[in-house]
Amino acid sequence: MDQGPSKGLHDVSLMSHDRRLQGRPRLCSDCGLCDSFLRPQMAETCLFVRNRADEIEQRLHGRLRNPGDEMRFGIYREQTIARMRRPVADAQWSGMITTLASRLLERGEVEAVILTGTNPGTRFQPVPVLARTTMEVRACVGNKPSFSPNLGLLDQVREAGIRRLAVVGTSCQVQMLRQAQAQLGLEHLDLIGIPCSDNVTHEDQQFFLATISRSPATVVHYEFMQDFSLWLRHEDGHIERVNYIDFPMDQLQGIFPSACLSCFDYPNALSDITIGYMGAPLGWQWVLARTARGVELLDLLRPDLEVRPVSAAGDRTRGMPRYIQMLAKRPAKPPKLIRQLIAFLQRHRGPRGLEFARAIIEMKLLRNYTHVREKFPQLEARIVPYHVYQSIAPYTQEYAAVFGRAPGERAIADQV
C-alpha cells in the first residue's frame, strides 16, 4: 500500500508547525477559534495552553466533581438510556442530536446552529455549517470523524447579528466556547456535546478505512461499538465488523493527532447535554443532562423517546493491569485463534453498560496521561485537569510498577 499516515508511524499528526496552524500552540485540535475574532484571546481560552476545566465547572455548576462516576463522566443532573421511537434516516444513531437541533430552530429558541456538514462530492470530509433552517440541519446528518474548525463560524454569527445560538460540538470546541462565552456577545447559547476521541485529519481518516475495511470505498458510516468491535455500514446495508483486537496498530500509530492524545474530556463534560453511546446497550444512546438547561433540552426530546434504566455489568478493573503494560510496550499480535477467543471473552464477559463507559474513559485517561508525560512533560501541570489523577488513582500501584513512577505525584501534592 503506497498510502500512509500523514506523518511517520512513530510520530503524531496535526502539530502546530503544520502550515495552516502556524502561530498556534504546539498542541492544536484545529477547533476553529483561531480562525475567528477570538484569536487574540487564544492564550486565555485554549485548553492546550491551560486546561481550565475546574474554573469552568465552578462557574457552571458552583462546584467541582463528586467522587465516583462524576470524576469519569463529568458533572450531571440526570442520565438516561434512550433512543428515538422513529429514527432519523441516515443518522449516526437514532437521530437525537439532529432532532434536538431542528426542534430548537422550529420553536424559535435559537436563530442558528453550528454543526458539521459534509463537503459536496465526498462522504466523510467535514465542513463547518451555520444552519438557519431545519432542512440545513438535517442535511448534516451522520458521522464525520475528522477535524472540522467549526468555531471559525463565530465571525459569521456576529456579522449576521445572531444572538441566540446552539452549537453541536466536540469536547475541545465546547471547552473553548465555555471559556470565551462572555466575549461572544450572545443572549443565549446551547451547547450540545458529542463524546469525542481520536479525531484525525480527513486524509488519515481515509487511510484508516483503507487499512481496516475490505471495501473502504463503500463505507457510509462507522462507529466503535460497545461489543469491542468497529462496525462499518456499507452502501448495500451490510455491516462489516472488525474486532478491536484485530486492528493493525503497527500501521495505524501515526494517524492519531497529538492534541487528541493530550485531551482528557472524552465525555464532553462542559456541555449542557452530552449525547453518545458509551454507557448504553447496543442500539441505544447514553444521555447526560449536565445543566438546568441540559434538562430542558432533554425534555424537548422526551415525548419522542423510548427509555430504559441505566445498567452495568462486568469488572473493568480486571483488564487494567494488562492494559497499562501495553501502554509501555505493545505486544506482538496474537495468532488468529487467540484473537478470536479474546474477542469472544471481551464481548461476553467484558464490561458492559456504564462499566464499559468507565473502562473506556479510564483507558483513554491512562493512555493520554502517559502520552503527555512522555512527549510534553513540561505541559503536564497546565493541561492535565484535576479529575484525571483521581480517576486513575486505583491503578497507581500497577502504573508505578510499569513506568517507575506513580502518575501525578507532584500534581496531587500541588493540589493539597
318-376: per-residue pLDDT in tens? 999 999 999 998 878 889 999 999 999 999 899 999 999 999 999 999 999 999 999 99
Number of domains in the chain: 1
Domain membership of residue 168 (yes or no) is yes
Global pTM exceeds 0.85 = yes
| Top-confidence residue, 186 or 123 | 186
Domain membership of residue 329 (yes or no) is no
* CA pair distance 255, 199, nearest whole angstrom: 9
Domain membership of residue 299 (yes or no) is yes
Domain membership of residue 212 (yes or no) is no
Amino acid occupying residue 359 = A
* CA pair distance 380, 377, nearest whole angstrom: 5
Q: Which of 211-220, 324-333, 378-387 has the lowest average pLDDT?
A: 324-333
Please, what is the angle between helix 96-106 and helix 292-301, to 10°? Answer: 100
Domain membership of residue 215 (yes or no) is no
User: Which grid cell is 313?
Assistant: 455489568
Comparing CA positions, the residue from 51, 74, 79, 49 lying closest to residue 64 is 74
Domain membership of residue 39 (yes or no) is yes
| Inter-CA distances, 20 with 4, 14, 15, 34, 385, Å | 21, 10, 10, 11, 28
Residue 194 belongs to domain spanning: 19-199+258-311
Domain membership of residue 366 (yes or no) is no
Domain membership of residue 169 (yes or no) is yes
Q: How confident is the model at residue 313 (pLDDT cuts 50, 70, 90)?
A: very high
Tell me what pLDDT residue 143 has.
84
End-to-end CA distance of the chain: 52
Beta strands of 143-199 (E only): which ranges?
A: 164-169, 188-193
Tell me what pLDDT residue 15 has.
67
Tell me what pLDDT residue 411 has.
44
**Residue 21, pLDDT above cutoff 90:** no
Q: Average pLDDT, whole number, for the chain?
A: 92
| Inter-CA distances, 207 with 7, 198, 239, Å | 12, 14, 20
Q: Name the β-bridge partners of 312.
A: 353
Q: What is the DSSP letter of 79?
A: E
Tell me what pLDDT residue 416 has.
42
